[in-house]
Amino acid sequence: MSEKLLEVQHLQQYFPVGGGLFKKNYVQAVDDVSFYINKGETFGLVGESGCGKTTTGRTILRLYEPTDGKIIYDGVDVTHVDFAPYRRKMQIVFQDPYASLDARMTVGDIIGEPIDIHGLASNKKEREERILSLLEKVGLNSEHANRYPHEFSGGQRQRIGIARALAVEPEFIVCDEPISALDVSIQAQVVNMFEDLQRELGLTYLFIAHDLAIVKHISNRIGVMYLGKLVELADSDTLYDHPIHPYTQSLLSAIPIPDPKTSREKKRIVLEGDVPSPLNPPSGCRFRTRCPYATEQCAAEVPEFKEYETGHFAACHRIGQI
Q: In what order do the strands lie in the sheet with 221-226?
A: 90-93, 172-176, 204-208, 42-46, 221-226, 229-235, 312-314, 306-309
Distance CA 316, CA 90 (A): 33
Please say if the pLDDT value at position 68 is more than 90. yes
Architecture per CATH, domain 4-89+170-314, reads as: 3-Layer(aba) Sandwich (3.40)
Looking at residue 122, its pLDDT comes to 92
Looking at residue 82, its pLDDT comes to 93
In the predicted model, what is the mean pLDDT of the chain? 92
Angle at 87 between CA 181 and CA 198, to 5 degrees: 55
Domain spans of the chain, in order of start: 4-89+170-314, 103-168
Please say if the pLDDT value at position 107 is more than 60. yes
Looking at residue 2, its pLDDT comes to 64
Can you list the alpha helix ranges (DSSP code H) found in the chain? Answer: 53-60, 84-87, 107-117, 124-137, 154-166, 184-201, 212-218, 236-241, 246-253, 260-265, 296-300
Compare 267 and 166 and report the one with higher pLDDT.
166
Looking at residue 213, its pLDDT comes to 85
Looking at residue 23, its pLDDT comes to 77
Please say if the pLDDT value at position 86 is more than 90. yes
Chain segment 193-214, per-residue pLDDT in tens: 999 999 999 999 999 998 888 8
Distance CA 301, CA 172 (A): 36
pTM for this model (two decimals): 0.92
Cβ(297)–Cβ(317) under 8 Å?
A: yes
* Residue 195 CA neighbour count, 13 Å, CB half: 13
Average pLDDT over residues 113-118: 94
